Amino acid sequence: MIRVVIFNDSHGWHSDQLETALAPYGITLIRSNLAQCRIDLDRPSGLHIPGIGAELPDGVIVRGIAAGSFEQITLRLDILHALAELGVPVLNSPLAIERTVDKARTSLLLRYKGVPTPRTWACEDWEQARFVSAQAQQEKHELVLKPLFGCQGQGITRIGKSTDLETCEVTGGLYYLQEFIPPTQPNRWQDWRFFVVDHRCIAAMVRRGRSWITNVARGAECFPAALDRQMGTLACQATRAVAVDYAGVDIIQTPDKGFQVLEVNSVPSWKALQQTTGVNIANALAEALLKRLQHPYLEQSGW
């Protein structure tokens, strides 16, 4: 019996989708939570994962890591690192998750690899942040202040002038500032989400917001989108830059610089995207995992 653990702090639609996709291949999906795991040197592997017994799982899919203290997150990533070092395929790898959960590191890696992305600044010092904001105001463009670790559009603020920083709630004492990209058409707030598996785009949607925030969790509407070659190439360049196995890549069109990558999400949701496409996204993830498990199905299907 092949056993795959899916880690999330709460299991629902996504876990159901993955379980349905993996079941035809004789794979048992075990739902677990990294917060309930422990390092346990009394065990042969040094790890305790509820529901798996003394043995290691055959594979792991990371669907979520709950918020917690720095120490708690470190331990949860330690569990994933240990599994990977013990030869268990982990999708996405802990290194990939670390690269992308940190927006500043993602921005740097995109820049290093020549992937177009908005101008970005990250600093701890208030005076430096104020200088960046004043410079932006002088250049007649706005900024967006984002939490370094954040998702679903939570905690982001639009900065029009340097005095706006004085009233902003700064998460963790750090200023992650990104150039604000105005719409190409008045009041048409939109961007694209591309879903990439093994550096191949499999689905896309356009998100249109009621305001400048286009996250689905903040009320944006989703519509089908063609797999545009230019944006698809850009999305795959982004996943290669941060070395993720699969990701949701957010792309925006600028008024004068073409398309740019906003973010790379290594633990992406796809419920909204699934409603806009005929591609079964869970099946694509299942096939990616089968490849890493060297499952007999691969030989039978000629992979």
Q: Kindly tell me the sign of the dihedral angle through the C-alpha atoms of 88, 110, 249, 194.
A: negative
Q: Measured at the alpha carbon of residue 279, what is the angle toward residues 116 and 34, in degrees to the nearest 5?
A: 75
CB 8 within 8 A of CB 63: yes
Question: What does pTM read for this prediction?
Answer: 0.92
Q: How many other C-beta atoms lie within 10 A of the C-beta of residue 185?
A: 10
Tokens encoding 226: 């063609």
Is pLDDT above 90 for 215? no
Tens of pLDDT along 238-286? Answer: 999 999 999 999 999 999 999 999 999 999 999 999 999 999 999 999 9
Q: Please name every residue paired with 195 in a beta bridge, in sequence order, or none if there are none.
A: 203, 248
Q: How confident is the model at residue 161 (pLDDT cuts 50, 70, 90)?
A: confident
CA 99 to chain centre: 10
Domains along the chain with CATH numbers:
2-91 (3.40.50.20), 103-112+185-277 (3.30.470.20), 120-179 (3.30.1490)
Tens of pLDDT along 60-86? Answer: 999 998 888 889 999 999 999 999 999
Instruction: State how far the Cα of 94 lies from the Cα of 31, in Å rounded to an integer.
Output: 18
Decide: helix, strand or coil at residue 176: strand
Residue type, 173: G
